[in-house]
Structure 1
């Protein structure tokens, strides 16, 4: 029987796969695993504990934690009794915690560790805090679980029957690039329809494959992904941290995982940095293989000579790349922001199939996804529309979406809901093109701007191209109502160190290096080289190098690593003004 609500995935998994390892986490150096049946028992007991604690249908519970099986247990347990989970990013400020607690009318809070507990404690009011680790002042989750262990299951079974597919099960507060976050209300149908659409195009084998999870479960991308993995009978292993990702990859040997372009960029930059450390013939072979990969087109006919060279490159060089990812990866899903085409090319050439997708929290999230075959992979596009999702392009180029995955609305914000849900279509705010079923994103509607000459600038498209340089880590195009566009640039300092080493330029500190005339001249040449891909009115005329990378905690990036343009404008207003003063 196909599941109709998300918590139906548990009995479905038992009936279909009966997994010995359904969820697993690293604890005291060892992998601790939970079977399908373990999950059912724990989730049922947690549901009963919530009922005994007095939680009622429709009441909200916050989950603030890094990824772990306990996260899933709480989420599923709430679903079974009609409770509503409110996942929150651990890295946001305590004032944002307070806003969400109050706005969502949160009744209980579950936290992952001491740091999160301390931050939540400041603003929790009289709410009880429960924790996934032993913390003084918080109730340990297993102690909470224990109060449901000997309770009768009958009331729970009756309550489960009252939960309908179209009922809201979560409110996800979007990170937002400006202002206060909005609470996106999603139903079981919203997310489950997306799960079934994605499952139909996943290539790893059902029932036996392994996945590594490291993107935040509080984001709809990884959360819907985890429900999809449950449906497919994949064993989900939670990485210890981003720092241990390489080690965890080698331990788990995943067949698939979800990621964001920023992490793929970092992996690529590390690989290239190691290539620069090689000498002689090894270095020559490395960059021969790399350049070969940068020309690759998965759907094209590259010719006999190219195919022969690529086969050799895979044996000598790219095989080591695959080993670094565990050696068994069949599919990597990339989302949340635009993937640089060069990364897609080189990873596919290396036998690492990176499939780009597109969506928003409001669409649960997937609107389109790349099919993991050479024939249907289009570099620079975000794949084909997934099953049951319709898209049309408005007159101004905006992408409009219709389907069972489109949200119920924004919590307590009917006016904002009416702004984006018009005549049955969700307005994404993204600009794009549609070629049959294939979708391409060109920019954010609200981020496009005009120069003083009246020419439109699409900054995302430009920024993505400039970041292809190993010398550029982060970049933001500016220039609204100015004569020409300019840019704030955070250098790729590893690439800059390699350049300095190659040129015999002594490297001191990042701050000092970006002031040196010969370094600024190098960036001038680099910008000029990439400018040729754009029209004259789009070309970057001037720039400012910055020594400190933009981050989530410092406020310039959202938790999904998108630029908070308004914040960057405010922080670097003087630098931007200085660019245009001369």
Structure 2
């Protein structure tokens, strides 16, 4: 096995430390330092945050929330979500995040499988969604959470309850995205999340000693990790509901760093095209890639319309959750912003590897965070071992074991190690094998096609087929605008150019030989995307089986 072991400076909390210790320690260090800030302008110092968390924790105790009780939370990212998160964890309750985009069937499965006893929802509509599918008790609104956090006297048993929670206790049950079936409830202990948050902050130097805007969903383990890394590192952290709210807020909030998924980076890149000509964008990509060709190199801060739209201070973005096309990394570097790719999965509390500013290397996802071992199995599978690896699954999936007898977590991803840096090359279950025996990794092709301004989504097809094809959906608003600007012109030529660009990344046997623009879009509501916006490939193939068959009939 090809293995990298990173043990130096790996932080592991004491057995008696819960995640609440991150909040209390930040208050002890500097009570006046700004910590979490709401979209409405409410700003809490580290001391005020600790006071609010303790008040809300007391309110939970008054309502007889017991250690080990599961608390399901449905809502977009915001201050109330973060307060409930910290307060529930402080008293030993188990947080069960629920994606706001989840379908009724998905919500019902999570509530039933987790055995949740308590519920919180952002809005009345969200509360109704929980109640309709079986929430068995009262549902607190986020307004209720804010009131409880602001006005509850400290419970006499609070300190004793906090002290009773240890690092090995269960903190969260986070349901995986369910690309191939029902989501599995992944158990995350206080130690798992503490380790990954603290070591992510340590891996990136003083990055988390800055200002950020957190628009990642707290219903996803990536968002949870970044929240606790921000609290650990002392960041001034603005909490916004999502990426649509982030883009117009950047110029006002002026972050020094962000954490985003590639989908969001692509959306922001497309948004900035209103400030650029095609030639200027191409020049920025070329300029950025030239800088990133040297490991650890950072572009000089830029002064232009795009940089101003980013707030003028943005220097780094941690990108995780999926692959990122190199041209997008080059685009941001062309405007003074370095993308730090990272890699992880729910079963490792998100972080396995994180690119550090000083050693950032284009095309890789960085080195293992401190205290983590990464191995490459005989079949190329990425294996992970460390104190942040989940103890297993909950409920219906409890008999499944992601960790082998030697303690290695089998990720299902294919990768390789390059001087200690991990490079992800595919996913075992998503590698397409054509009828001619050619292995094709679909993700790089899909990522590149999706970058075209008219494209909304793309899925590559070819498993068991004679060649590779693709289904493509279009962004209706952008297509309408494009048609108005190019009357009488068929946008198909534009889509062909996007496909040709993607094909330049691969050999001819791996290239997209034909494509079909299909009606509608791949959405969560239609069951074609997971809640974290990953393709549900089998569902898409079933939904568009006729179109796929026609692609192969038409090409012989």
When normalised by structure 2's length, the TM-score is 0.90
Aligned to 2:401, the other structure's residue is in SS state helix
5 Å-filtered alignment, 1:27-66, equals: 27=40, 31-66=41-76
Offset, 1:521: 4.8
5 Å-filtered alignment, 1:252-331, equals: 252-276=253-277, 286-287=280-281, 289-290=283-284, 292-293=286-287, 295-300=289-294, 319-331=304-316
Which of the numbers 474, 495, 506 marks the counterpart of 2:488? 506
1:155-195 per-position Cα deviation (integer Å, ceiling 9, x unaligned): 22222222111111111111221211111101111111112
The residue number in structure 1 matching 2:226 is 225
Which of the numbers 179, 192, 211 marks the counterpart of 2:181? 179
Offset, 1:435: 1.5
Preserved CA contact (<8 Å) 2:216 2:242: no
Change (3 A) 1:468 1:148: closer
CA distance in 1, matches of 2:503, 2:68: 54
CA distance in 1, matches of 2:375, 2:444: 21
* Comparing 56-65 and 12-21, the one that deviates more: 12-21
The residue number in structure 2 matching 1:449 is 432
Which of the numbers 383, 401, 404 marks the counterpart of 2:384? 401
The residue number in structure 2 matching 1:550 is 522
The residue number in structure 2 matching 1:116 is 126
The residue number in structure 2 matching 1:103 is 113
1:108-137 per-position Cα deviation (integer Å, ceiling 9, x unaligned): 10111122112112123431111113xxxx
Which of the numbers 139, 151, 157 marks the counterpart of 2:155? 151
Offset, 1:296: 2.1
Which of the numbers 25, 34, 39 marks the counterpart of 1:21? 34
CA distance in 1, matches of 2:199, 2:322: 21
CA distance in 2, matches of 1:216, 1:131: 17
CA distance in 1, matches of 2:538, 2:331: 34
Preserved CA contact (<8 Å) 1:25 1:240: no
Offset, 1:413: 4.5
The residue number in structure 2 matching 1:574 is 546
1:527-548 per-position Cα deviation (integer Å, ceiling 9, x unaligned): 3454243223212111101243
Change (3 A) 1:496 1:173: same
Aligned to 2:255, the other structure's residue is in SS state coil
CA RMSD of aligned residues (A): 2.8
Aligned to 1:355, the other structure's residue is in SS state strand
CA distance in 2, matches of 1:247, 1:25: 15
Preserved CA contact (<8 Å) 2:354 2:368: yes
Preserved CA contact (<8 Å) 1:342 1:468: no
Aligned to 2:417, the other structure's residue is in SS state strand
Aligned to 2:304, the other structure's residue is in SS state helix
5 Å-filtered alignment, 1:128-139, equals: 128-133=138-143
Change (3 A) 1:105 1:455: same
**Would you say 1:423 and 2:409 are equivalent positions?**
no
Aligned to 1:574, the other structure's residue is in SS state helix
Aligned to 1:70, the other structure's residue is in SS state helix
Aligned to 2:512, the other structure's residue is in SS state coil
The residue number in structure 1 matching 2:507 is 535
1:361-420 per-position Cα deviation (integer Å, ceiling 9, x unaligned): 1111111111113xx221111111111111111111110100011001000256653255
1:319-374 per-position Cα deviation (integer Å, ceiling 9, x unaligned): 3211111111132111111111011112113211111111001111111111113x
The residue number in structure 2 matching 1:512 is none
Change (3 A) 1:201 1:424: closer
Which of the numbers 429, 441, 445 marks the counterpart of 1:462? 445
CA distance in 2, matches of 1:414, 1:118: 28
CA distance in 2, matches of 1:206, 1:100: 33
Preserved CA contact (<8 Å) 1:49 1:147: no
The residue number in structure 1 matching 2:101 is 91
Which of the numbers 79, 82, 86 marks the counterpart of 2:89? 79
CA distance in 2, matches of 1:442, 1:76: 36
1:15-46 per-position Cα deviation (integer Å, ceiling 9, x unaligned): 2122442211133xxx0122222222222222
Which of the numbers 449, 458, 461 marks the counterpart of 1:478? 461
5 Å-filtered alignment, 1:198-217, equals: 198-204=200-206, 209-217=210-218
Offset, 1:299: 4.2
CA distance in 2, matches of 1:547, 1:522: 17
Unmatched 5+ residue regions in structure 1?
A: 134-139, 277-282, 508-515
Preserved CA contact (<8 Å) 1:255 1:328: yes
CA distance in 2, matches of 1:298, 1:169: 39
Preserved CA contact (<8 Å) 1:356 1:382: yes
**Would you say 1:334 and 2:319 are equivalent positions?**
yes
Preserved CA contact (<8 Å) 1:25 1:238: yes
Unmatched 5+ residue regions in structure 2?
A: 1-10
**Higher relative contact order (CA closer than 8 Å, sequence separation 6+):** 2
Offset, 1:491: 3.9
Change (3 A) 1:461 1:160: same
When normalised by structure 1's length, the TM-score is 0.86
CA distance in 2, matches of 1:571, 1:141: 41
Aligned to 2:20, the other structure's residue is in SS state helix
Offset, 1:525: 5.2
CA distance in 2, matches of 1:525, 1:39: 51
**Would you say 1:346 and 2:340 are equivalent positions?**
no
Preserved CA contact (<8 Å) 1:431 1:441: yes
Preserved CA contact (<8 Å) 1:52 1:148: no
1:429-463 per-position Cα deviation (integer Å, ceiling 9, x unaligned): 10111113200111111011221122222212332
Preserved CA contact (<8 Å) 2:192 2:348: yes
Change (3 A) 1:473 1:331: same
Offset, 1:555: 2.7
Which of the numbers 349, 355, 360 marks the counterpart of 2:345? 360
* Comparing 397-406 and 171-180, the one that deviates more: 171-180
Preserved CA contact (<8 Å) 2:213 2:237: yes
* Comparing 533-542 and 167-176, the one that deviates more: 533-542
Aligned to 1:101, the other structure's residue is in SS state helix
